[in-house]
Structure 1
Amino acid sequence: MYYFAYGSNMSLPRLQARLSFVEKVTTCQLKNHRLTFNMLSKDGSGKCNIVSCEQGSFVLGVLFKIAPDERDKLDSFEGFGSCYTRREVELHLPNNDTRRAFTYFALRTEESVKPYGWYKHHVFHGAAEACLPESYIQSIKSVQDIKDEDISRHQREMSIYSKIAKA
């Protein structure tokens, strides 16, 4: 089963920490959409969302293959039904082919919310790891973030990267 990751799950270490079977297929593009951080999370911060918009805009991300029985687990992490809904989208691949995959769209949005720094790091890290264009990576870096006052959550979220450095 194919999953389009455009936010924090573009980071392979983050997705592997959540699911037992993950295979990166390729980078891809969702046309006529744009990336925002306007999903109002349960913790009050902003998380990634994609919204329909004018022709010419697009969201870049990573196409992953996951085990069908892992989708429910991913739904749980993503807050399916309360934070996000799941939809099938048509993606454009680098070889000019298309592929259908599921992804998540926010149910609750608030334009004024900002992401925690650790969350933005997941998105930035995933985009860099996927070798997305530098201009796209810079647009993610330019998003204003806020400090998470829950230090243990911050450390827990960032710990997946220290495991990579030790490997």
Structure 2
Amino acid sequence: MKYFAYGSNMFSRRLRKRLDSVIVIGTAILRRHRLTFHKRGRDGSGKCNVVPSAHPDDHVHGVLYLIGDPETIHDLDEIERGYERRHVVIEHHASGVEERATCYFAEPDVIDDELIPFGWYRDFVLAGAHEHDLPPGYRKALSAIPTRKDPHHERRSKALAILGE
């Protein structure tokens, strides 16, 4: 299965901590969608979501992974609770070739436009954007996303350890 990651799973160190059977294919773009941080996570903070857009200039950059083991797909579904797996058409950055991939969309009952992500979560997204050399303007927009401090010290420390801070 080809999996288009647009949020914290773009950071391959984080994804490999969660799943051990993934291979980076490259970077891609999902056209006519926009990135939000309005999916309510299990910790109550804002997580990434992509939403369809009628505006032709809206797009989301991400990382395309290959998941070879069917069990890994079920593991990813468990990790991505509150999301629905759907097929999308992505466009490879390097070649411009379009192909189908799997992508996760937040379920309507876990969307709250008032949510703000924890700083470490936004930093995972930003680290993935830097790791895979997504366009500078996109990285700049990600770094401008407002965040809040995670009050749970242990969770924050674990996340910062993965980030290497």
Q: TM-score range by the shorter chain?
A: over 0.9
1:1-167 matched pairs, under 5 angstroms: 1-53=1-53, 54-67=55-68, 68-79=70-81, 83-94=82-93, 95-107=95-107, 108-162=110-164
Higher mean alpha-carbon deviation, 91-100 vs 9-18, is at 91-100
Distance in 2 (alpha carbons) for counterparts of 1:85 and 1:21: 21
User: Which 4+ runs in 1 deviate beyond 3 A?
Assistant: none
Shift of 1:161: 2.9
Shift of 1:40: 1.3
Q: Output the aligned Cα RMSD.
A: 1.1
Is the 2:124–2:163 contact (alpha carbons within 8 Å) kept by the matching residues of 1? no
Is the 2:33–2:60 contact (alpha carbons within 8 Å) kept by the matching residues of 1? yes
User: 1:107-162 CA distances to partner (integer Å, 9 max, x unpaired)?
Assistant: 12111100001100100000010100111001111010010000000011121233
Q: Tell me the number of residue pairs that the alignment of Structure 1 and Structure 2 aligns.
A: 160
The letter for the 2-side match of 1:88 is H
Distance in 2 (alpha carbons) for counterparts of 1:23 and 1:41: 26
How many percent identity over aligned positions?
39
Distance in 2 (alpha carbons) for counterparts of 1:28 and 1:2: 11
The letter for the 2-side match of 1:5 is A
Unmatched 5+ stretches in structure 2: none
**TM-score, with structure 2 as normaliser:** 0.94
Task: Report the 3-state secondary structure (helix = DSSP H, G, I; strand = E; otherwise coil) of the residue aligned with 1:50.
Answer: strand
Distance in 1 (alpha carbons) for counterparts of 2:161 and 2:96: 37
Unmatched 5+ stretches in structure 1: none
**TM-score, with structure 1 as normaliser:** 0.93
